[in-house]
Structure 1
Amino acid sequence: MKIAPIDIAHKTFARKVMGLDPDEVADFMRDVADQMEEIIRERNSMKESMRQKELQLMEYKERDEALKSTIHTASKMSDGIRADAERESKLIV
């Protein structure tokens, strides 16, 4: 069973003779609920931050692939130009 901060804040207990101080229990439960809310907010913030980082990583990977492809194409073009230049130099001689 999941417990939400609001459940903690509003939880009541049966009173018994010589039981705990209800005000002290209520104060403690409020503190626990507040801390739980903060942890949930922090977790949600971290999840969003992680999602943003994953999107950035995907973008960087796409850029990396584009750069690799560009370098490969440039290398092929360079090889072709070099081969053409060598052919032309042999024709001149």
Structure 2
Amino acid sequence: MNLPLVIGALIVSLLLLWWLLSVIKASFKTAFLVVAVIFTIQVLTGVGPQQIFAQVGQWLGDSMGGLGKWLQNWGGKSKEPDVKKEAAIWMFHIATELLSNI
């Protein structure tokens, strides 16, 4: 085996792994910060996440168009319920109830 090639590949792999872990860590920090802010606002004022995202969507709707509309409809408020998914959830619930009674 070519030793310099293996060492180079190992170094590149470790650098990519370090970069990936730092990106994941930053993403989790941001997500937890957003959750903490929304939870704090909800506890202190009673405003829910849907209302917060609707307001952010209105602010972004003027400047970014489609992103604001997407944020306003976040959570599927305007969507019809998916019958197949609901049926699968009910079947799973019934199966777990039957298995727990055995």
Structure with greater contact order relative to length (CA < 8 Å, sep ≥ 6): 1
Larger Cα-atom Rg: 1
Name the TM-score class by shorter chain. 0.3 to 0.5
